[in-house]
Amino acid sequence: MSKYTLTLLDTTGIQDYIFASNRLQENIGASELVYRATSLWVFETLDKLKLSHNIKNPSSHDWDYTDAAIERDASLQAEVIQAAGGNTLILFRTKADALAFTRAHTLRLLKDAPGLTVLALHDHSFEVGLNEVLLPKALDDLRQQIQAYKLSRPLPSPWLGLGVNAICDSTGLPAASTLGGKWNGERLGLPGEDGGGLVSREAAAKRGWRKAANQRLNHILKNASEDFTFPYDLEKIGRFKGDESYIAVIHADGNRMGSRVRQLGEDAKDDRDYIKKLRSFSKTIEAVSRAALESAVGLVVQAVKNGDVPFVEEMDEDGEEVKRKYLPLRPLVFGGDDVTFVCNGLIGVSLAASFIQTFEQEAHKASVKDFRASAGVSIVKLHYPFARAYKLAEELTASAKTLNREPNPDCSALDWHFAQSGLSGSLETIRNREYTVDEGKLHLRPLKMEDWQKVEAVIAEFNGPYWGEKHNKVIGLRQPLRLGSKAVQKYLEDFALGDLPKFDGLLVHETGWKDGVCYYFDAVELLDHHVSLKSKEAVK
């Protein structure tokens, strides 16, 4: 059997790289750079070195794998096994080709994606299993070695310049340009930004790819945003005259992906069968995720058209005609089962719920058995540190996934946190401190999707004909709910409000509490900050 070099490219610190800035345009550009560094630029490097490969349409977002196999095609010098999720796996015919590729690609990244860290590791003695499955074990070994290196390597210490250096407004690194400069042919500053603002090479690179990122997004979503523009600025998402300025950061992730990929290896007859199954599964999940995202964008467009969700319009210089209408939503990381987007705070929870429900439905249509997703939503003030908001969304996703851990059956799940002030401590610490009272837990979260629908039904009741006229009294429930069931009963009696809305047949509408759990605090807390994307009526 012939021996080849198996090369793994692994992008490390993706979240820190993408979400390091509070400037949305830099988050957008950073996400685009991660995507290109592990796909399009990989193919370009192979082409530049004149290494024959198996990618068709390598310069297009519609690139795909051919059926060429390196052990069968003597003319093939490099076979890209998979390029997805910030990782690339390539099989090279020779060690020399693998090392030449790594050098050339590293130089490209240093020049065009400063600040992005991509690690490369080689197995120079890999044999393709013709009658056995060897690739999953080899890939696991490479990943373990990279993980061990990540834990042991010296932390990068960027040169922060001398006392005479000007400092970038975003990164704190030495400035290399002003906002009047260009990168990738794009002016670094947006219209209205002071051209004298200072940017480092890292921030400049991110800004320079924001337009290309929007073009890719529109291409993928087939212009589902209609005549709306995806914004580059958080102000266009969360700030509206007369309204509180909240944004929602949503992170959604497929459940039990690791076990599903392992199962592919167990079911495969040999390495070539495994590669075929892996690519097919990856493409299916990509299609499922795109369909769910396209549906989410469509829901927001419809909500804006219905007048349920405010949006920002950009007028011409005379203030007479609309130049652009900005959609209060921007996907940041998309492709595959791992998706992150930011939207107006009013629609955060409903949008996340709609996304994971559609994800499950689309997976079912694609015959991916029992594949579900979980999501976390952090709802924060507009200028809250974006990196912290994302970390919170990740924590909330992990919290939601506790509902489907083995031996529990898999389920779509949701968790959220509404931060009206600064956060201190982990999610568990916050909930123990702020959502635990003498009678028990104030919150129901995390929730399976069917339980979220019950909470949303209560919110709808609170906005209905009877309770809608008593809005202030409903908001006032927060304090008696904190004090316990007896305080709730007294509050309802004192104001002659009658029973609370029924909670799916549970006998909790008289006191709001049952067995140490409050069933209404979640609904009351969200009441002024929630628009149901199922309804044509805004909840304000």
- Which pLDDT value is given to residue 540? 38
pLDDT band at 434 (very low <50, low <70, confident <90, very high): very high
Contact by Cβ (8 Å): 44, 36? no
Surface-to-core class of residue 484, CB atoms within 10 Å of its CB (0-12 exposed, 13-18 middle, 19+ buried): middle
Residue 244, pLDDT score: 63
Q: Which residues pair with 10 in a beta bridge?
A: 87, 119
Distance, in Å, from the CA atom of 84 to the CA atom of 87, rounded to the nearest integer, reads 6
Q: 97-100, long-range: CB within 8 Å, 24+ apart, which pairs?
A: 97/5, 97/49, 97/51, 98/5, 98/7, 98/122, 98/124, 100/49
Residue for token digits 């509050």?
A: 491
The Cβ-side half-sphere exposure at 437, using a 13 Å CA radius, reads 18
Q: What is the residue-wise DSSP string for 464-496?
A: SHHHHTTHHHHHTTHHHHHH-HHHHHHHHHHTT
Indicate the angle between helix axes 386-401 and 427-434, nearest 10 degrees. 80
Predicted local distance difference test score (pLDDT) of residue 423? 66
Maximum Cα–Cα distance across the chain: 85
Tell me the pLDDT tens digit for each residue of 230-283.
999 998 997 765 566 899 999 999 999 999 999 999 999 999 999 999 999 999
Q: pTM, whole model, 2 decimals?
A: 0.93
Taking the CA atoms of 498, 503, 508 and 513 in sequence, report the sign of the dihedral they define: negative
Name the band, by pLDDT with cuts 50, 70 and 90, for residue 505.
Answer: confident
pLDDT for res 300: 95
